[in-house]
Amino acid sequence: MASRLDAELISGHAVGGTVQVVIDTLFAKIKAEDYPADTRLPSERALAADLGVSRNTVREALDVLESHKIIRRRAGSGSFVIWRARAAQEDDADSLAARTSPLDHLVMRSIIEPEMVRLATINFTPRELDALAAIVSRIERVRTDIGDFMAAEEELYRTIAEGTRNPLLSACHELTLSVARQNFRRALMRRHLTPDRIRDYQRRYNTLFNAMAARDVEAAVEFIKLHLIEEQKLLLFEG
């Protein structure tokens, strides 16, 4: 990550000089850990007052920071820092990926994903449910492109993790995604995600969404447990 973020296009227009100054100022504070990872930034109003700019300028700057995965907004909760030094992230993930077996990964998922689903089913706002529905629809449009399917699947799990309102749980799950990307699961799924299996996964995620949308905690948690059992069967088949 460069020390200065390049100007991004927002709604088709390059950011202005004042917006770039706000971007650089906030990013510098994040790098210096004035705003550490997993903490919430001050409100747009507070940032605007502190930096002597309009709220619209702050909002544009936050748009850029979010697009670079420096922060992540949570509806009704504010903007949270998710950035860590990229070299440290890669070193951590590489080291863990080398030491993590497929079974280790599934065990970790079986510990955290049922709790993720439980908390998200309880805490999701209507807007977050709409976002989850859009991701499920995106998954359902995939026919044979495994890369598109896996990217949408990651986004689905990430949205569920953030819906827990537990930044530590969300961060733990993000680490499991990083390890899986660098280790075995991507290669495994590329070998076994046939069109028929993609359709099966699409049905599963639709079922999960329906349970979560209905606020049926028991059904949603039971479903994700069964889904993980199917993932284990795929792993055993590979073995």
CA dihedral 203, 205, 211, 217 (to 10 degrees): 140
* pTM of the entire predicted model: 0.61
- What pLDDT score was predicted for residue 6? 46
Maximum pairwise Cα distance, the chain: 60
Q: Given the DSSP bridges, would you call strands 13-14 and 9-10 parallel, antiparallel or unpaired?
A: antiparallel
Q: What is the Cα gyration radius of the chain?
A: 19
Amino acid at position 156, single letter? L
Domains of the chain: 9-81 (1.10.10.10), 86-238 (1.20.120.530)
CA 6 to chain centre: 23
Which residue do the tokens 């049922």 mark? 114
Q: For residue 78, what are the β-bridge partners?
A: 74
Per residue of the chain (239 residues), what is the pLDDT tens digit?
444 454 443 333 456 788 888 998 998 888 888 888 888 999 999 999 999 999 999 999 998 898 888 898 887 788 999 887 554 555 555 666 667 777 888 889 999 999 999 999 999 999 999 999 999 999 999 888 888 888 899 899 999 999 999 988 998 898 888 777 765 566 666 677 788 888 999 999 999 999 999 999 999 999 999 999 988 887 776 55
- What pLDDT score was predicted for residue 215? 97
Amino acid at position 151, single letter? A
- What pLDDT score was predicted for residue 188? 67
- What pLDDT score was predicted for residue 109? 92
